[in-house]
A and B are shown apart, each in its own frame.
Chain A
Amino acid sequence: DIQMTQSPSSLSASVGDRVTITCRASQGIRNDLGWYQQKPGKAPKRLIYAASSLQSGVPSRFSGSGSGTEFTLTISSLQPEDFATYYCLQHNSFPPTFGQGTKVEIK
């Protein structure tokens, strides 16, 4: 299986901060990567697909970049509703594998 390593595992930030989360794949996955947001007690919600394409309805403060083995999710100006856990998912190689998650908490 391809291993997806997310960093950091958690972070504390303030409203308005720029936040960057990184996901590294154990081997190249082209751009077959998505980012998901999960709030407590809720199902995951897709934010980004194909590494950098914004899911319809998702605010433009979210962006994704990267290809191959290194990917980033950036929140340009953190909003109160963005405090959640974020996961990357690779679907280039079977089986799809998630990163371990990054919990974004209020500073």
Chain B
Amino acid sequence: EVQLVQSGAEVKKPGESLKISCKGSGYSFSSYWIGWVRQMPGQGLAWMGIIFPGDSNTRYSPSFQGQVTISADKSISTAYLQWSSLRASDTAMYYCARHFGSGSPPPPDYWGQGTLVTVSS
């Protein structure tokens, strides 16, 4: 069974750094793209970027380029989303999702449970 398990909720202050994680199991982690999707409070879904753990090839939506860093450690089947300096506007639920199928990139099929990030002074 494909599973993506994300790290727990975080409460941070503006300017702090943060790295959240997403651990995959039940499939060959290195062989599938994995990406991140943001959902701000009461809002819709926004696709952020994607990484191929096998070779660390990473692509970002222009809206998120330079704002976050996506990485992966295939040895422990874990992907990461990282901020160097959080802002209040980063407050949101963040979902990781495996991507599979046709297209460039392929679409998300399995999703993690989400990590709530709250940034407040």
Contact = CB atoms under 8 A, between A and B. Distances in A.
Interface in B20-49: 37, 44-47
Main DSSP-derived SS at the A contact region: loop
Contacts, number: 62
12 contacts: A1-B62, A43-B111, A49-B101, A87-B44, A87-B45, A91-B105, A91-B107, A92-B103, A95-B47, A96-B105, A98-B45, A99-B44
A82 interface: no
Contact of A44 (B45, B61, B62): B45
Interface of B: 37, 44-47, 59, 61-63, 95, 97, 101-109, 111-114
Contacts of A36: 45
A91 B106 contact: yes
B46 A98 contact: yes
